Structure 1
Amino acid sequence: MATRNSKTIIVTAMSIVTFTLILFAGSVQGLEEKSIEFDKQLNLINKPPLKSFKTQHGYIIDCIDIYKQLAFDHPLLKNHTIQMKPKTIPKENGRDEEASSTKLYKSPINMPKNIKCPAGSVPIKRATRKDLLIAESFKSMGLNHQTNTTQHTNIVDPKGHYFAVVVYRDHVYGASSRINIWKPNIKDGQLSIGTTWVVTGPKEDTNSIQAGWAVHKLLSPSDATLYTFWTGDGYQKTGCYNVLCPGFVQVSTQIALGQVLTPSTHNGAQTDMLISIYLDRPTGNWWLMYEKEPVGYWPKDIIPRLGEGATAVSWGGEIYRPVGTVSPAMGSGELPNQGFGKSAYIMRIKVDKDYNHPQFLDPKKDSLSTLVTQPKCYNAQYGFQAAAAWGYYSFFGGPENCLL
């Protein structure tokens, strides 16, 4: 009897080991297939550089022939003529220039002096497997962003996305603001952003552009980075984070999407960046401006609905947490009532309203509202200060570990 029991135990153990090995082999095969797929994608994304530089943060900047960048792999851009600079730049109402002398902030980004691309090329951050891993997080965050409600829900989103933003609902041709930069505490797999969204169209066919800063351990373990995201079909098949797919046309030799940004410090030096997104009327292209530098544009062919302008803009923060993890910090990690130096801010909120006279002007106060999906953890508020540095502004954010 003992021998029979021993044989049974041995057979059972061997079956368990065999089953485990089969699972492990399947897992390894799955990882190998994923690895091969990533390598194929990276070979398509990363074009042959004319020159390359490794930054102090560890990532690589490639100098890519401006006419051979990934954008032109898009089937709608095969015969596209590069627009080297915008034909129109919306005028400021004077507040931006005045604010530059207030010394409230310092510049958060500069191309390292040792990085200078050859003439005819543009700096592009080399894509890695890590970039591909987080791409879906950005896509799903955009998919869940709603601008057609003012409801404060306090509902736990099973997908782990939460917003705290100020929303402008009216027809516009552009938006501009100074976005305060932080590096909130996050854990593996989590994402926290401070950004501007420009949106039009129904949910299933949304055309949207985002630009701001993002914090994710795969992007940079302890830094915020400059990011963009776009879609031309409601985040279904088109669009991507930064330049991981054909679409965005880079023209700047000074700024690269994905560059590390210098963050603010609590009760210390504050850094922010002037981000402007607007429709260049003569061409129908949407341009991204960083401070006064035209970074590049999204051609009208890939975001056709935005060719007639946007119907909503929002400014603020968003977080993502994988299922089973506590919630990360948003903004500075402080609620908006802590004020300047502690809470994350977005100041000099402006919109470009007049098609025939491009100009960034203050929005009407009654056209602004807030969208907060978990107010017990995160919040946003807005106001107006006549002092030159602020104009219409918003504070947003909230602490980590609020949702378990």
Structure 2
Amino acid sequence: MTYNDGSRETGCFDLTCPGFVQISHEIALGAAIYPISTQNGLPFSITIYIYKDLNTSNWWLQYGGTINIGYWPSKIFDGGLKYHATIVQWGGEVYSKNVKTIHPHTKTQMGSGQFPVYIFDNTGFMKYMRILDNAMALKFPQIVNVYSEEYDCYRTQYMGDYTEEPEFHFGGPGRNPICP
């Protein structure tokens, strides 16, 4: 998913958001995580959790099931998120300082730079997407939608039917003949 306003009106998700408290000295929010997958190479994966601490109401970010990177204090939320999440999003984003202001579009690739084709596992993907509810049960989302704001530059593909584990694939080349 992309937000063409640089997250100014649509929200933010990293250290540009006010209030995040970094506690890990091993993993920095926004830093690259290695090793990385390469086209025709070995695929690598990471596990990320975001969960609400029921005692403090803080929202925690955890890597690998054991490393707490940090948290968003409950006091920074005024509304529903203070009590529970109403929407969960998974996706990818590319950076360009020229978003919505200058054309041509950025050459920045997402994933492997290829448009996703599920049967080839050729680009970025996510699986084991779960929501931890207030009863502390991990559940698959009831409603799943895919969206790409710049469809000619980046695409999304969701495979939920006839698969053991639903997968969300995303990627694209950025600027290309159909994405000027």
Scaled by the length of structure 1, the TM-score of the pair is 0.38
Structure 1 residues 144 and 304: CA distance shift in structure 2, 3 A = closer
Structure 1 residues 337 and 299: CA distance shift in structure 2, 3 A = same
Classify the secondary structure of the residue corresponding to 1:304: coil
Q: Point out where structure 2 has 5 or more consecutive residues left out of the alignment.
A: none
Give the residue type in structure 2 aligned to 1:300.
S
Report deviation, 1:340. Answer: 5.1
Greater C-alpha Rg: 1
Residue pair 1:380, 1:397 contacting (<8 A) in 2 also: yes
Residue pair 1:270, 1:341 contacting (<8 A) in 2 also: no
Give the residue type in structure 2 aligned to 1:348.
Y
Q: Point out where structure 1 has 5 or more consecutive residues left out of the alignment.
A: 1-137, 146-207, 211-227, 230-239
Classify the secondary structure of the residue corresponding to 1:295: strand
2:136 corresponds to 1:363: no
**Distance in 2, Cα, partners of 1:313 & 1:340:** 27
Aligned to 1:315: 90
Give the residue type in structure 2 aligned to 1:315.
W
Which of 248, 272, 275 is residue 20 of structure 2 equivalent to? 248
Structure 1 residues 320 and 252: CA distance shift in structure 2, 3 A = closer
Identity of matched residues, %: 31
**Distance in 2, Cα, partners of 1:290 & 1:340:** 27
**Distance in 1, Cα, partners of 2:138 & 2:12:** 18
Give the residue type in structure 2 aligned to 1:316.
G
2:118 corresponds to 1:344: no
Q: Note the 1:121-160 alignment, pairs <5 A.
A: 140-143=5-8, 145=10
Which of 324, 335, 352 is residue 103 of structure 2 equivalent to? 324
Report deviation, 1:298. Answer: 0.8
Aligned to 2:168: 394
| Aligned length in residues | 166
**Distance in 1, Cα, partners of 2:152 & 2:4:** 26
Aligned to 1:17: none
Residue pair 1:288, 1:295 contacting (<8 A) in 2 also: yes
Residue pair 1:350, 1:392 contacting (<8 A) in 2 also: no
Looking at secondary structure, tell me which structure has more helix per residue. 1
Give the residue type in structure 2 aligned to 1:267.
N
Residue pair 2:118, 2:159 contacting (<8 A) in 1 also: no
Report deviation, 1:268. Answer: 0.7
Residue pair 1:343, 1:396 contacting (<8 A) in 2 also: yes
Classify the secondary structure of the residue corresponding to 2:147: strand
**Distance in 1, Cα, partners of 2:20 & 2:4:** 16
**Distance in 2, Cα, partners of 1:340 & 1:294:** 34
Report deviation, 1:376. Answer: 2.7
Aligned to 2:54: 281
Structure 1 residues 256 and 377: CA distance shift in structure 2, 3 A = closer
**Distance in 2, Cα, partners of 1:340 & 1:302:** 43
Aligned to 1:373: 149
Classify the secondary structure of the residue corresponding to 1:372: coil
2:69 corresponds to 1:295: yes
Looking at secondary structure, tell me which structure has more strand per residue. 1
Structure 1 residues 374 and 255: CA distance shift in structure 2, 3 A = closer
Classify the secondary structure of the residue corresponding to 2:168: strand
Residue pair 1:266, 1:341 contacting (<8 A) in 2 also: no
Give the residue type in structure 2 aligned to 1:359.
A
Classify the secondary structure of the residue corresponding to 2:82: helix
**Distance in 2, Cα, partners of 1:340 & 1:283:** 44
**Distance in 1, Cα, partners of 2:4 & 2:72:** 17
Report deviation, 1:349. Answer: 0.9
**Distance in 1, Cα, partners of 2:95 & 2:30:** 19
Q: Note the 1:189-200 alignment, pairs <5 A.
A: none
What is the Cα-based RMSD across aligned positions, in Å?
2.5
Report deviation, 1:318. Answer: 2.5
Report deviation, 1:335. Answer: 0.9
Residue pair 2:154, 2:174 contacting (<8 A) in 1 also: no
**Distance in 2, Cα, partners of 1:291 & 1:273:** 6
Report deviation, 1:209. Answer: 5.8
Which of 249, 259, 262 is residue 31 of structure 2 equivalent to? 259
Q: Displaced runs of 4+ in structure 1, greater than 4 A?
A: 338-341
Q: Note the 1:168-183 alignment, pairs <5 A.
A: none
Structure 1 residues 139 and 341: CA distance shift in structure 2, 3 A = closer
